[in-house]
């Protein structure tokens, strides 16, 4: 009896391992649930339309209607009420009953929601005082609506195919990202941007079709194929951004990204904007005095930032600093800092008779003009040695703003999309592109 029980446990463990290993493989995931748009409040009404009418179904019941525009009222505490255009009730369905709303000609029609068309069906999930609108769609059809939102559809086909495989792998390895809320992925940059049927383009649909079911694998599991817009010349290793070393997300030199759009950027913030941004992130400082890059990763990205204020010094990771300053304007952590000084502060030295003519604060460095020529210094305290001895001059250098001069756009980990486009233009195929940006991986179907 004992032996049989052990055997059963062994079989169970085996099955669980088998299930865990296989669930991320493409052939086992045919449909996914994607949350579309914002959460809907329970006091509102959702309008959807199709050209063929609708079937509202679960495994037990079907309601069908020829109405091409229907409304779902969320005002009842127990039911979704399905109404026709004139407000007449078509059906009442319990919140818990897991219904799908499918166009009548489901393989040949689309659901229109807020002016956007979607393949597949719509499901609703009630969550406290909100309702999530879910698009239940096949993985391949989901990718039709993702690839053109994530990479320009005019890119060469091999780059589009690389993106299709990357997006498929990323989707499969992130299927549980929102599972606690009852769905797989959202339609924003948090997961991948998804625009439904309305976003589809012929070129990107071709790329999805020509790579059907193909994913990147590491140790027989779908790869978390993160990607970014442009690396600026060198990609980054995962541990430098997220703290975890991942064997396939390794920094590589990336000359293909050097001339990408947004590859060179420059943004200036005044001291007060920087102080406010820090305060909004619960970093309370008084007057900002200096910002320095303390150390860099092997790709050249800022690893630690030192913020010197009148009351304290704060150390931040480069990534944290970037997110505080705003990820879309502050495009990467591959940057250097230029200090801008107050411009109208030329101070005449009182030591002119000892050889100093003038201290000029108008440039980023301090120029000391002596009768022996010009010396450039970048210090707040200068020891001047002349025939009368040594004099220390304290200089109140005041930085009024900081300019950040950077390269690349995004976290820099995994595939650079503009690098992939450049590689494709130079004749590399999707396999070569993927093997370049992801290490130790297999491309499988
Ligand atoms: Zn998400």
Cβ atoms 411, 330 nearer than 8 A = no
Ligand 1 centroid distance, CA of 331 (Å): 21
Q: How far is the CA of 10 from the centre of ligand 1 (A)?
A: 36
Ligand 1 centroid–CA 418 distance in Å is 23
CA of 37 to the centre of ligand 1 (A): 11
Residue 303 in 3-state DSSP? strand
Cα(295) to ligand 1 centroid in Å equals 32
- Yes or no: say if 438 and 216 are a contact pair by the CB < 8 Å rule: yes
Whole-number Å distance, alpha carbon 334 to ligand 1 midpoint, is 26
Q: Which residues contact 10 (CB under 8 A, 6 or more apart)?
A: none
Shortest CA distance to 343 belongs to which of 380, 397, 271?
A: 397
Tokens of 234: 């060198």
Q: Is residue 417 classed as helix, strand or coil in its secondary structure?
A: helix
What does the pLDDT read at residue 342?
A: 63
| Ligand 1 centroid, distance to 178 Cα (angstroms) | 7
> Distance, CA 121 to ligand 1 centroid (Å)?
19
Distance (Å, whole) CA 425 – CA 418 = 10
Q: How far does the centroid of ligand 1 lie from the alpha carbon of residue 40, in Å?
A: 17
DSSP conformational letter for 224: -
Ligand 1: centre distance to CA 189 (Å) = 7
Reduce the DSSP state of residue 178 to 3 states and report it: coil
- Inter-axis angle of helices 430-437 and 157-173, nearest 10: 50
| CA–CA dist 221, 28 (Å, integer) | 12
**CA–centroid distance for 11 within its chain:** 41
Give distance in angstroms: CA of 114 to centre of ligand 1.
20
- Which string of DSSP letters, residue by residue, matches 72-121? EE--SSSEEEEE-TTS-EEEEEEGGG--EEEESSTTS--EEETTEEESSE
Contact between 58 and 136 (Cβ < 8 Å): no
Q: What pLDDT does 56 receive?
A: 86
Tell me what pLDDT residue 259 has.
87
State the burial class of residue 64 (Cβ atoms within 10 Å of its Cβ: 0-12, 13-18, 19+).
middle
pLDDT at residue 256 in the model: 97
Distance of CA 188 from the midpoint of ligand 1 (Å) = 6
CA of 31 to the centre of ligand 1 (A): 17
Residue 173 Cα to ligand 1 midpoint, Å, equals: 13
Please tell me the distance between residue 146's alpha carbon and the centre of ligand 1 in angstroms: 13
Q: For residue 133, how far is its CA from the centre of ligand 1 (angstroms)? A: 14
CA of 320 to the centre of ligand 1 (A): 20
pLDDT for 39 equals 87
Cα–ligand 1 centroid distance for 297 (angstroms): 28
Alpha-carbon distance values, 359 to 85, 327, 351, 364, 376 (Å)? 78, 39, 10, 13, 10
In Å, the largest CA–CA distance within the chain is 105
Pairing mode, if any, of strands 100-103 and 54-57?
A: antiparallel
Q: How far is the CA of 91 from the centre of ligand 1 (A)?
A: 31
Report CA(187)–ligand 1 centroid distance (Å): 7
| 179 CA → ligand 1 middle, Å | 10
d(CA 397, CA 132): 55
Mean pLDDT for back-to-back runs of 10 residues, the chain (445 residues): 47 46 56 92 85 84 86 86 89 84 85 93 87 94 98 97 98 95 94 96 98 96 95 96 95 94 90 95 93 95 95 95 93 93 48 48 49 48 54 61 95 97 98 97 93
Q: How far does residue 167's CA lie from ligand 1's centre (Å)?
A: 14
Q: How far apart are CA 142 and CA 172, in angstroms?
A: 12
Q: What is the pLDDT of residue 387?
A: 54
Q: How many residues does the chain have?
A: 445
CA distance 165 to 2: 48
Beta-carbon contacts of 229 under 8 Å, excluding residues fewer than 6 positions away, are: 260, 262, 408, 409, 410, 416, 417, 418
- CA separation for the pair 212, 352 (Å, rounded): 78
């Amino acid at each position: 009896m004992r032996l049989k029980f052990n055997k059963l446990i062994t079989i169970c463990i085996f099955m669980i391992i088998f299930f865990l290993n296989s669930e991320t493989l493409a052939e086992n995931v045919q449909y996914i649930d994607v949350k579309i748009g914002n959460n809907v409040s329970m006091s509102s009404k959702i309008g959807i339309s199709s050209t063929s009418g609708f079937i509202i179904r679960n495994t037990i019941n079907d309601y069908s209607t020829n109405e091409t525009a229907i409304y779902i009222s969320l005002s009842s505490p127990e039911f979704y009420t399905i109404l026709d255009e004139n407000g007449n009730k078509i059906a009442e369905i319990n919140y818990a009953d897991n219904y799908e709303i499918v166009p009548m000609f489901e393989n040949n029609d689309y659901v229109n929601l807020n002016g956007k068309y979607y393949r597949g069906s719509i499901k609703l999930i009630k969550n406290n005082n909100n309702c999530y609108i879910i698009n239940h769609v096949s993985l391949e059809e989901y990718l039709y609506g993702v690839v053109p939102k994530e990479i320009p559809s005019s890119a060469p086909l091999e780059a589009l195919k690389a993106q299709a495989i990357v997006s498929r792998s990323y989707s499969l390895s992130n299927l549980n990202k929102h599972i606690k809320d009852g769905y797989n992925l959202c339609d924003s940059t948090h997961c991948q941007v998804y625009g439904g049927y309305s976003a589809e383009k012929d070129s990107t649909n071709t790329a999805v079709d020509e790579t059907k079911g193909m994913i990147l694998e590491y140790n027989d599991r779908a790869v978390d194929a993160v990607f970014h817009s442009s690396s600026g010349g060198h990609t980054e290793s995962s541990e430098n951004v997220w703290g975890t070393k991942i064997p396939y997300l390794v920094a590589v030199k990336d000359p293909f990204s050097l001339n990408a759009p947004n590859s060179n950027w420059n943004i200036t913030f005044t001291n007060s904007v920087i102080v406010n941004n820090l305060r909004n992130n619960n970093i309370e400082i008084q007057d900002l005095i200096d910002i320095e890059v303390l150390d860099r990763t092997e790709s050249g990205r800022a690893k630690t930032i030192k913020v010197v204020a009148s009351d304290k010094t704060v150390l931040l990771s480069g990534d944290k600093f970037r997110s505080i300053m705003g990820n879309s304007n502050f495009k990467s952590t591959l940057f250097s800092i230029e200090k801008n000084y107050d411009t109208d502060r030329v101070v005449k030295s009182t030591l002119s008779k000892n050889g100093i003519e003038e201290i000029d604060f108008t440039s980023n460095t301090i120029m000391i003009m002596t009768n022996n020529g010009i010396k450039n210094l970048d210090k707040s305290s200068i020891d001047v040695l002349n025939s009368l001895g040594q004099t220390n001059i304290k200089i109140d250098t005041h930085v009024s703003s900081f300019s950040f001069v950077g390269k690349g756009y995004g976290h820099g980990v995994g595939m650079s999309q503009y690098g992939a486009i450049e590689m494709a233009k130079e004749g590399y195929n999707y396999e070569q592109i993927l093997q370049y940006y992801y290490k130790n991986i297999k491309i499988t179907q």
